[in-house]
Chains A and B, each alone.
Chain A
Amino acid sequence: GAGVSQSPSNKVTEKGKDVELRCDPISGHTALYWYRQSLGQGLEFLIYFQGNSAPDKSGLPSDRFSAERTGGSVSTLTIQRTQQEDSAVYLCASSLMAGGTETQYFGPGTRLLVL
């Protein structure tokens, strides 16, 4: 596709359940980022992938959060045993390559609500 796509667009789950959020980056982009946007907050960096290198997981808030990127393309963010404080919009972005000057292209986000 022409842009970054994310699915589902909305997800409602019960506390304690696991959820998987999917991101399809722009074709050819080697870098992929996950952010969390909570109500009234800025974007919180979660994790980034660059090519086949080990991901930078330094932003993941707890060990309940994990992400993988298969074949250098699609990425899945998994939240295990969800808590109410996990409710937020989860944004994925990709860029042609990693680096401070690169423009990131964002998907529309997945809005997660944990009841």
Chain B
Amino acid sequence: AQSVTQLGSHVSVSEGALVLLRCNYSSSVPPYLFWYVQYPNQGLQLLLKYTTGATLVKGINGFEAEFKKSETSFHLTKPSAHMSDAAEYFCAVSDAGGFKTIFGAGTRLFVKA
């Protein structure tokens, strides 16, 4: 069975500081990994995804994530936080043979001026 753990339900950073949102997964087969973002009063939208190939994946709005198989991690980073990045972020995992996507509990990012 697959699972996702997001460390920290809330993360607070200052504007311009590094954003690091942690995600660890468990999967018995090669995983496909996703980060989705949910802005206030909006639906979820895809930030980035890893399927195969390059382990460093770049997404929208300057975010990137690196798939580290040895650490079973897919942490999300952004070099410099912007006020508009304040949102809830969800890490998710699926696999090639299945159609279910398992989501983590989410991390709410706060950005201080």
Residues of A in contact with B (beta carbons under 8 Å apart): 3-4, 31, 33, 35, 40-43, 45, 48, 50, 56, 58-59, 91, 93, 98-101, 103-109
Contact = CB atoms under 8 A, between A and B. Distances in A.
Interface of B: 4, 6, 9, 32, 34, 36, 41-46, 49, 51, 90, 92, 94-106
Contacts of B34: 103
Nearest to B98: A100
Nearest to B108: A40
Nearest to A48: B99
A89 to B, nearest CB: 10
A4 B51 CA distance: 24
Nearest to B100: A45
Given A101-B49, A103-B49, A108-B42, A42 B99 contact: no
Contacts of B98: 100
A100 B32 contact: yes
A99 B106 contact: no
14 contacts: A41-B105, A43-B44, A43-B103, A45-B103, A50-B99, A99-B96, A100-B94, A100-B98, A100-B99, A101-B96, A105-B45, A106-B43, A107-B43, A108-B42
Contacts of A56: 99-100
Nearest to B43: A106
B100 A106 contact: no
Contacts of A35: 103
Instruction: Choose among B92, B103, B105 the residue with the greatest number of A CB atoms under 10 Å from its CB.
Output: B103
Contacts of A4: 43
A106 to B, nearest CB: 4
Contacts of B6: 42
A104 B90 CA distance: 13
Contacts of B105: 40-42
Given A43-B90, A108-B42, A101 B32 contact: yes
Instruction: Choose among B4, B41, B44, B105 the residue with the greatest number of A CB atoms under 10 Å from its CB.
Output: B44
B60 to A, nearest CB: 12
